[in-house]
Amino acid sequence: MKVFFPGTSRLVAIEALFYSYYPRLCDFSLRLIRDPDTAEDIVQDVFATICESPEKLPNESSKIKSFLYTCVKNACFNRLRHQTIVDRYKESYLPHPDTDSDIIDHIIHAEILGELYGAINALPKGCAAVFRKGYLEGLDNAEIAKQLNISIHTVKSQKQRGLSLLRKKLNPEVYGLILFIIGNQ
């Protein structure tokens, strides 16, 4: 299956990939780098490189996800190696990169988060806003109510509605993992 369709430019396709994969690649990068700003910079740099050399992007959609994760992983390791050299001069310690099993765990976590973001984006607009603020941003019900100019009761009911809709949309294993992840953030 080709990703690039006749009549669409590679940059339009890359933009679609960016919006689809950016959150999960940032999460993956963050788990390797442990610095949110640097993690986002790395993912943005990877997409900038792809935009500069779009011919490097595989044409087969089945290979794109692996390609993107590999690019981000390599960019993270390059950044860590560079930082290690800098830190030697500063006489500080930088932990070693994660093991392969840790990388697999990070990819799984990022994929689950990607599923969560996709499911949240499919929720009704108001419900999605309350869900994001409550479960992803960690705001309490009073803060959400104040920001969205709605009652606390509406916040509570929208959270319950969001969980109910997610339960229906996601398979039970993914839903259980998502509940675990949002409960531990």
Domain limits, the chain: 1-120, 123-185
Percent of the chain exceeding pLDDT 90 equals 44
pLDDT at 184: 57
**Which CATH architecture is the domain 123-185 placed in?**
Orthogonal Bundle (1.10)
Between residues 96 and 130, which one has the greater pLDDT?
Answer: 130
SS3 annotation, the chain: CECCCCCCCHHHHHHHHHHHHHHHHHHHHHHHHCCHHHHHHHHHHHHHHHHHCHHHCCCEHHHHHHHHHHHHHHHHHHHHHHHHHHHHHHCCCCCCCCCHHHHHHHHHHHHHHHHHHHHHHHCCHHHHHHHHHHHHCCCCHHHHHHHHCCCHHHHHHHHHHHHHHHHHHCCHHHHHHHHHHHHCC
* 185 has pLDDT over 70: no
